[in-house]
Copies of this chain bind each other. A is one copy, B any other.
Amino acid sequence: VDTGSHAPIIRAAAVPGVTLHALTQARDERGALAALELSAVPFEPKRIFTVYDVPSESVRGAHAHRECQQFLVCVAGRLTCLVDDGESSDEIDMDGPSIGVHIPRLVWGTQWRYSRDAVLLVIASHPYDAADYIRDYDEFLAIVRG
């Protein structure tokens, strides 16, 4: 299946810099496929991780990164992604692998309302670095407003 080479921007979110990209999908009697050429991701991927088995009442994320950019795809189930730059915010429903959400550095990101079967795939621009996390919202506001 030729699933193309692009992940075109569907729309910008209400938070400047946050963009929604279309993944290419194909479906036939043998099942479905969703593809992403990594040249379409706005950074060089260095790490990927999945988040899964999240209790429905749990909130994940709730932090920003000083440098790391992320590209989120909900590869199973559904969840809600909240993005916030300290001035504006947006809530993005992710219910399958049709969209990827690019979250630049210095955007507060929260994911919640995970369905029982939800799996969030995150493509990250940097290897893991604990020092890159901003976990205090007031500190985040001071940085983006400063």
Contacts and interface: CB of A to CB of B under 8 A. Distances in A.
Interface of A: 2-5, 27, 29-39, 45-55, 58-60, 75-76, 97, 114, 117, 119, 121, 123, 127-128, 130
B30 A60 contact: yes
Contact of A76 (B45, B48, B75): B75
A46 B123 CA distance: 13
Given A29-B58, A33-B50, 14 more contacts: A2-B128, A29-B55, A30-B59, A31-B53, A32-B51, A33-B49, A35-B48, A36-B47, A37-B128, A38-B48, A39-B46, A48-B48, A48-B123, A76-B119
Contacts of A50: 33-34, 75, 97, 121
Complex copy number for this chain: 2
Given A76-B119, A119-B75, A121-B75, A34 B46 contact: no
A31 B52 contact: yes
A33 B29 CA distance: 31
Contacts of A54: 30-32
Contacts of A36: 47-49
Contacts of A75: 50, 52, 75-76, 119, 121
A128 B5 CA distance: 8
